[in-house]
Amino acid sequence: MLYSLIKLLRPHQYIKNGFVFLGVVFAHEWGEPGTVLAASTTFLAFCAIASAVYVLNDIVDVEADRRHPTKRERPIASGAIPVSTAWAIFATAVIIALVLAAMVSTWVIALILTYLVLNVAYSWSLKHIVILDVFSIAAGFMLRILAGTLGLGIEPSQWLLLCGLMLTLFLGFAKRRAELADDRIERSETTEGPRRVLDDYSVSLLDQFISISAACTVLAYGLYTVSAQTIALHGTDGLIYTLPFVIYGIFRYLFLLHARGGGNDTSRDLVTDPHLLATVAVWLGVTILVLA
């Protein structure tokens, strides 16, 4: 039961909530214990609400998952966790998220609730609408960034929001590309269900979306590092030296997507690929060193 619960909550996905700490890093607040504590509490709040969303998705998709060759092994679909129990777990996770958010600020409460509403809309409707499905996923990451800035009393940088948007669109379209390439995915629904969004995508179309968003990510971050506003804010022009790590990380992810069957699970790709893991660690270390 414990294994099924952990599998249902998907704690390996919590790494995505690291976007909450971007505001702390780029606002030079890592030396402020109060701010770091608030950011850590916000991180935990998003971990709880993210788990609630994963539970909700599995409840909504339980019938489709039972017909899927691999997803039928999920805790709810397999019957390891009853649907009634799953609803109780969902409610508990939401309450924990809101309690943690209340310990930080009303902004974090509002953003946590917005994240929940967004994902409810995604589960019931948005995930079936081509392109808008990926923008909905990206919006979830933007809410994390806002929680780590507005929620902590930090003015959000427009550059930070732009770079975050382009990066998450890149990862979202890469995920759709990986799903489309997976021959185990059922490409059609039964007559009782809605048409799968994958039917509206093609490999060539997704490759164009991925190329555009990847290029925009590198371009936006590169312009940010040399912006006069950035140099004045941080008192250094050294952020340009972090750009090669961003470019390498993008290229490495594309390599995993096309040559190693990656892209389906960004969190798992990050923690299992030593190149990506080292790139993120070195980028973060060099960034803090430059800003400090």
Q: What is the DSSP string of 65-121?
A: HHTSTTGGGSHHHHTSS-HHHHHHHHHHHHHHHHHHHHTT-HHHHHHHHHHHHHHHH
Share of the chain above pLDDT 70, in %: 95
Q: How far apart are the first and last CA of the chain?
A: 46
d(CA 208, CA 219) in angstroms, rounded, equals: 16
- The CATH classification number of 1-156 equals 1.10.357.140
Q: Which of 253, 251, 288 is nearest to 270 (CA)?
A: 253
The amino acid at 47: C
Those residues with Cβ within 8 angstroms of residue 217's Cβ, 6 or more apart along the chain or in another chain? 163, 166, 167, 170, 246, 250
Residues 152-184 have pLDDT tens digits of 999 888 888 999 999 999 999 999 999 887 744
Give residue limits of the domains in the chain.
Answer: 1-156, 157-292
d(CA 183, CA 140) in angstroms, rounded, equals: 28
pTM of the prediction? Answer: 0.86
Residues 198-249 have pLDDT tens digits of 888 899 999 999 999 999 999 999 999 999 988 988 889 999 999 999 999 9
Those residues with Cβ within 8 angstroms of residue 83's Cβ, 6 or more apart along the chain or in another chain? 59, 62, 76
d(CA 194, CA 133) in angstroms, rounded, equals: 14
The tokens of 63 are what? Answer: 């019938």
